[in-house]
């Protein structure tokens, strides 16, 4: 085990996978100098054939990812900020998510798309979207939202070695968070949620970086005598509904914490699944702690309260238990 910053865990995982398989290639805007630090050093190490700085042309980049993967490479496409996914959304939604089905399963599509997501740092509306709801609805796209350095490494390696398109979303500005990463070739399968804390009174499901505020809320709740179970989704597609359902079977109460806008959020979807499949276990309403249906404002005092925080999460959970 080694303690690493999350962004370092990503960088190490990229290095190891590119070392391991020479058909892994990576491209994106300024991946050489690396805006977030996740791709630092790769160009020097693997050379300009396998690591390419691209022009700014997201529409073509997402198409290229499809084409290069269809032609036999394992592609890593770095899209920088999540909002730029929209700029390249055509080939994501119309090609990447559909081409395997449309062609009768002729090909696998080993594509990993990396992008930073989320607000909280006054980057304003065009640099702070949380785009997984749209991706989840496409059907043909896996979505990974690691919250710890270990998962960051393990999920990224799985995504790169996998044979389906996977969006690997890094929580913006949270790359500095530190944690243990297992030594050796650490892989984390897609579709396995983590129980970060056990408790019998209420289940708190967190998406991505919401894990930390959720854990903090759980600690605050414990001080009030409420024991919360915290489940970190790790991946949204595939979604580990079994772990969530098993927890709800014990607690009878669910709060989903998601930094996406509320309408059609991951939280909505998880709530809907539980309201159907675990209805008889539920003893209280299913609560969502999300971002209101608002684009991120710049002023920090306006932006901050829009994001889920330990207080909102704890309050939601407490209401359920006390009801």
40 makes contact, choosing from another protein, ligand TPP, a second copy, none, with CB < 5 to 8 Å by partner type, with: another protein
Give the CB-side neighbour count of residue 15, counting CA atoms within 13 A: 15
305 makes contact, choosing from another protein, ligand TPP, a second copy, none, with CB < 5 to 8 Å by partner type, with: another protein
Cα 212 versus chain centre, distance: 14
Strand partners, 53: 28
Query: Site mask, a second copy, residues 7-36, x = CB under 8 A?
Result: ------------------------------
Six-digit token string for 130 = 């949380």
* Number of Cβ within a 10 Å radius of residue 234: 27
Q: Does 80 bind ligand TPP (CB under 6 A)?
A: yes
Nearer to a second copy, 139 or 189 (CB): 139
CA distances for 166 relative to 57, 114, 129, 205, 287, angstroms: 20, 9, 18, 21, 28
Nearer to a second copy, 193 or 267 (CB): 267
Q: How far is the CB of 87 from ligand TPP (least distance, A)?
A: 4
Per CB under 6 A, contacts with ligand TPP among 41-70 are 56, 58
Give the CB-side neighbour count of residue 42, counting CA atoms within 13 A: 33
* Number of Cβ within a 10 Å radius of residue 164: 18
Q: Are 52 and 194 in contact (CB under 8 A)?
A: no
Q: Could you tell me which stretch among 18-26, 36-44, 81-89, 108-116 binds a second copy (CB under 8 A)?
A: 81-89
244 makes contact, choosing from a second copy, another protein, ligand TPP, none, with CB < 5 to 8 Å by partner type, with: none
Q: Which of 121, 161, 219, 269 binds a second copy (CB under 8 A)?
A: 269
Per CB under 8 A, contacts with a second copy among 43-62 are 58-59
Q: Does 87 bind a second copy (CB under 8 A)?
A: yes
**Order of strands across the sheet with 254-261?**
194-197, 228-232, 202-206, 254-261, 287-291
Q: How far is the CB of 11 from a second copy (least distance, A)?
A: 28
Q: Does 205 bind a second copy (CB under 8 A)?
A: no
Instruction: Dump the DSSP string for 239-250.
Output: --HHHHHHHHHH
3-state helix, strand, coil in the chain (%, to 5): 45, 20, 35
Nearer to a second copy, 29 or 277 (CB): 277
- DSSP label at residue 96: I
Nearer to a second copy, 124 or 195 (CB): 124
Q: Could you tell me which stretch among 79-87, 114-122, 168-176, 178-186 binds ligand TPP (CB under 6 A)?
A: 79-87
Catalytic residue, candidates 127, 186, 269, 280: 127
276 makes contact, choosing from ligand TPP, another protein, a second copy, none, with CB < 5 to 8 Å by partner type, with: a second copy
Ramachandran class of 212: left when φ > 0, alpha when ψ lies in -120 to 50, beta otherwise: alpha
Q: Which of 5, 15, 16, 29 binds ligand TPP (CB under 6 A)?
A: 29
- DSSP label at residue 284: S
Give the CB-side neighbour count of residue 78, counting CA atoms within 13 A: 29
CA pair distance 32, 39, nearest whole angstrom: 7
Q: Are 61 and 54 in contact (CB under 8 A)?
A: yes
Concerning whether 127 is annotated as a catalytic residue, the answer is: yes
Q: Does 244 bind a second copy (CB under 8 A)?
A: no
Q: Which residues bind ligand TPP (CB under 6 A)?
A: 29, 56, 58, 80, 84, 87
Q: Which residues bind a second copy (CB under 8 A)?
A: 58-59, 83, 86-87, 89-90, 92-94, 97-98, 101-102, 124-126, 129, 133-134, 136-140, 237, 260-261, 263-269, 271-277, 279-280, 282, 284-288, 293-295, 297
Catalytic residues: 127
């Amino acid at each position: 085990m080694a303690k690493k910053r999350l962004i370092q865990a990503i960088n190490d995982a990229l290095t190891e996978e590119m070392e391991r398989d020479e058909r892994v290639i990576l491209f994106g805007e300024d991946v050489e100098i690396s805006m977030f630090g996740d791709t630092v050093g790769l160009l020097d190490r693997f050379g300009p054939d396998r690591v390419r700085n691209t022009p700014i042309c997201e529409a073509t980049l997402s198409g290229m990812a499809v084409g290069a993967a269809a032609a036999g490479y394992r592609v890593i496409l770095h899209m920088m900020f999540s909002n730029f996914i929209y700029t390249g959304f055509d080939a994501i939604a119309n090609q990447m998510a559909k081409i395997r089905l449309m062609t009768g399963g002729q090909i696998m599509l080993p594509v990993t798309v990396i992008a930073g997501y989320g607000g909280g740092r006054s980057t304003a509306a065009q640099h702070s979207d949380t785009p997984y709801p749209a991706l989840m609805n496409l059907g043909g796209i896996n979505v990974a939202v690691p919250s710890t350095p270990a998962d960051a490494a393990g999920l990224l390696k799985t995504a790169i070695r996998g044979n389906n398109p996977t969006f690997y979303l890094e929580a913006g500005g949270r790359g500095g968070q530190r944690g243990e990463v297992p030594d050796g070739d650490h892989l984390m399968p897609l579709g396995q949620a983590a129980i970060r804390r056990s408790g019998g009174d209420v289940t708190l499901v967190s998406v991505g970086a919401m894990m930390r505020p959720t854990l903090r809320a759980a600690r605050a709740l414990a001080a009030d005598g409420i024991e919360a179970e915290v489940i970190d989704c790790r991946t949204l597609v595939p979604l580990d509904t079994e772990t969530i359902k098993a927890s709800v079977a014990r607690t009878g109460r669910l709060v989903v914490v998601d930094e996406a806008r509320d309408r059609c959020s991951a939280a909505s979807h998880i709530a809907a699944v539980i309201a159907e499949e675990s209805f008889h276990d539920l003893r209280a309403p299913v609560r969502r702690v999300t971002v209101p249906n608002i684009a991120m404002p710049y002023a920090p005092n306006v932006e901050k309260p829009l994001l889920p925080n330990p207080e909102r999460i704890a309050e939601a959970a407490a209401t359920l238990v006390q009801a």
